[in-house]
Homo-oligomer: A and B are copies of this chain.
């Protein structure tokens, strides 16, 4: 007999018209050499596309432009294009343009080209991403001085992750540095990226599917599963990537079902169609 979550899933998966896939930890595991694909995921993406379901990749990746990121995934055998990716940097660019904001950037060098068309003179906000090696004492002080010099500081954060794992160990993610600047300037950051509702909504709009007919598949209990559910979607947690058994006891978030990996999720969903 299938576990309870799975029997329910067979029922609600029938209504599905679109899938949102997290990338790191679902399609591949990141690491020093660019990472390795997760077994069965490339084939699973092909099967989704063949099924006629709408598909969107929804990532908080901010260490590279979408072009570079997509090229890496194509090299691993994934059928993916830039136009299918929802990522924080382009979403932030839309916000900057709408509100006439000129950012001081504290981001990874490889992300800077995403902001090529944005006026960065005489900054009136700070945009922080996972800057990695660019999180130096000098760069943090500089971003802080720009913020504290504003009458009403505006801090935009590309995600709010706590930390992530690379081949050489755990690394502090953008959320930790966001908190440092929030505290120093007594300001609350605006988060662009998962788990922000607006971010999921723009991914759904790009697919043209309402939340009730979409499923999010991710490895992050808070940013993927919790964020998508807040938006009215069903959400599956894969037991790959950063998944840890203790996630299953999370005090606030419960996935609609667990799956071993993306391949198994796609098996179950496609059986219902």
Q: How long is the Cα–Cα vector from A186 to B176 in the complex, in angstroms? A: 11
A140's nearest neighbour on chain B, judged by CB, is B172
Does A133 sit within 8 A of B, measured CB to CB? yes
Instruction: Please tell me the size bucket of the interface on A.
Output: 20 to 34
Q: How long is the Cα–Cα vector from A222 to B183 in the complex, in angstroms? A: 14
Min CB gap A202→B, angstroms: 26
Contact at B183–A176, with CB atoms within 8 Å? yes
Chain B residues contacting A133 (CB-CB under 8 Å) are: 137
Q: How long is the Cα–Cα vector from A177 to B176 in the complex, in angstroms? A: 8
0/1 interface trace, chain A 176-200, chain B, CB 8 Å (1 if under): 1101111111100000000000000
Min CB gap A182→B, angstroms: 7
Does A12 sit within 8 A of B, measured CB to CB? no
Does A129 sit within 8 A of B, measured CB to CB? no
Min CB gap A177→B, angstroms: 6
Contact at A172–B141, with CB atoms within 8 Å? yes
Contact at B171–A141, with CB atoms within 8 Å? yes
Contact at A175–B184, with CB atoms within 8 Å? yes
Q: How long is the Cα–Cα vector from A181 to B144 in the complex, in angstroms? A: 18
Q: How long is the Cα–Cα vector from A169 to B144 in the complex, in angstroms? A: 11
Does A135 sit within 8 A of B, measured CB to CB? yes
Chain B residues contacting A148 (CB-CB under 8 Å) are: 163, 170
Chain B residues contacting A137 (CB-CB under 8 Å) are: 132-133, 135-136
Chain B residues contacting A176 (CB-CB under 8 Å) are: 140, 144, 180-181, 183-184
Question: What are the 4 closest A-B residue pairs judged by CB atoms, nearest first?
Answer: A176-B180, A179-B183, A180-B180, A176-B184
Would you give 18 A-B contacts (Cβ < 8 Å), ordered by A? A132-B137, A133-B137, A140-B176, A141-B172, A144-B163, A145-B169, A145-B170, A148-B163, A162-B183, A172-B180, A172-B184, A175-B184, A176-B180, A176-B183, A176-B184, A179-B180, A179-B183, A180-B180
